Amino acid sequence: MNLSALNTVALAMVTPGKGILAADESTGTIKKRFDAIAVESTAQNRRDYREMLFRSDGMTFISGVILYDETIRQNAADGTPLVKLIEQAGSIPGIKVDEGTQPLPGCPGETVTVGLDRLADRLAAYYALGARFAKWRAVIDLDKDRIPSMTAVHVNAHALGRYAALCQAAGLVPIVEPEVLMDGDHDIGRCFDVTRRVMNEVFRELRIQRVALEGMILKPNMVVSGQKCPVQAGVTEVADRTVQLLKECVPAAVPGVAFLSGGQSDALATAHLDAINRRGPLPWMLTFSYGRALQAAPQRVWAGRTANVRAAQRAFSHRARMNALASRGQWTTERENEAA
């Protein structure tokens, strides 16, 4: 393991004023996104859509792009590998390597993320294709009192640790993503308690499996109310609770934290990120690793039509710029309402 090289990439991934584009939707997930805009989910349409993003001015604000197995192997319409387009835009290509979730035996309603089998071989192949970081998502569901079980927390944290160690051995920076879901009617206090428990177990496993914290990026959920909770915590409370969680659980050796949006609306994910960054100074760079919160607007504008490409690129660039400002604590509602 070359820790110096890993640390260099990790720091570049959290460059001030930039964030990570999560363009790693599985074929099934992107089909749902395309169905919503009445676009057929063919390999060419998926390629054209992502090429549109990678050729946009919004890439100025993107430090890295998480790709899916199909995408990392695709070429643009002119034959240029999509990985090269990302590099030419000044961003770092990465790859999603988990293989989704399966029901966890003995734990009704809970899941474990799979994909560790032959992962070392896959990581070597992805490195050869140009990836310099990877992502693995552990999904932790919760309700008001029964779940998550300690079993679910432990097995998912263990898998994250094993994945991260394999990544570093292969020369890839691991994005460690323990996501406590925001579905449900739990309040923000319950989210805080569960996320803290998950985070402590994840860092315990990372230490046990000798993962170098200086060569990784953390991708957690923010501490928010469940979507169905009748009382939604405000932006200020979300920022305060999230920063409190980081201070309690995340070692200063971690170069940066790239939050997931977790189903928040575009503008709310940006507002939360901005408020969190106004709580500094903190020992980590705090930025974004958003999928839907960056892509929902350009998808609606694009709608599969070539004539809409420029307008969709402007929509993507606007969202990327807003989140870049938020990553510096410089976002305002006035800037949000600027024409895309």
Phi/psi of residue 260, nearest 5 degrees? -85, 160
Q: Which helix (H) or strand (E) holds 161?
A: helix 150-169
Q: How far apart are CA 280 and CA 277, in angstroms?
A: 6
Say how many CA atoms lie within 13 Å of 116 toward its Cβ: 17
Q: Assess whether 84 carries a catalytic annotation.
A: no
Model confidence pLDDT, tens digit, residues 267-301: 999 999 999 999 988 999 999 999 999 999 999 99
| Torsion sign over Cα 35, 70, 260, 110 | positive
Q: Assess whether 237 carries a catalytic annotation.
A: no
Confidence of residue 334 (pLDDT cuts 50, 70, 90): confident
Q: What pLDDT sits at residue 1? A: 79
Model confidence pLDDT, tens digit, residues 110-143: 999 999 999 999 999 999 999 999 999 999 999 8
In a 3-state reduction of DSSP, which class is residue 286?
A: strand
Say how many CA atoms lie within 13 Å of 41 toward its Cβ: 15
Model confidence pLDDT, tens digit, residues 148-200: 999 999 999 999 999 999 999 999 999 999 999 999 899 999 999 999 999 99
Exactly one of 177, 179, 201, 205 is catalytic; which is it? 177
Confidence of residue 333 (pLDDT cuts 50, 70, 90): confident
The DSSP-derived string for 109-144 is T-EEE---TTHHHHHHHHHHHT--EEEEEEEE---S
Share of the chain above pLDDT 90, in %: 94
Model confidence pLDDT, tens digit, residues 196-209: 999 999 999 999 99
DSSP-derived letter for residue 280 is -
CATH of 3-336, picked from 3.20.20.70, 3.60.15.10, 3.30.10.20, 3.90.1150.10, is 3.20.20.70
The pair of three-digit structure tokens given for residue 13, joined into one six-digit string: 């991934």
Exactly one of 18, 96, 135, 219 is catalytic; which is it? 219
Q: Is the pLDDT at 318 greater than 60, yes or no?
A: yes
In a 3-state reduction of DSSP, which class is residue 76?
A: coil
Q: What pLDDT sits at residue 340? A: 52
The pair of three-digit structure tokens given for residue 289, joined into one six-digit string: 């690793």
Listed in sequence order, the residues at least 6 apart from 312 whose beta carbon sits closer than 8 Å to its beta carbon are: 52, 298, 299, 301, 302
Nearest to 99 by CA among 24, 199, 1: 24
Confidence of residue 339 (pLDDT cuts 50, 70, 90): low
Q: Which helix (H) or strand (E) holds 217?
A: strand 217-218
Parse the chain into domains and list their residue ranges.
3-336
Q: Is the pLDDT at 241 greater than 70, yes or no?
A: yes
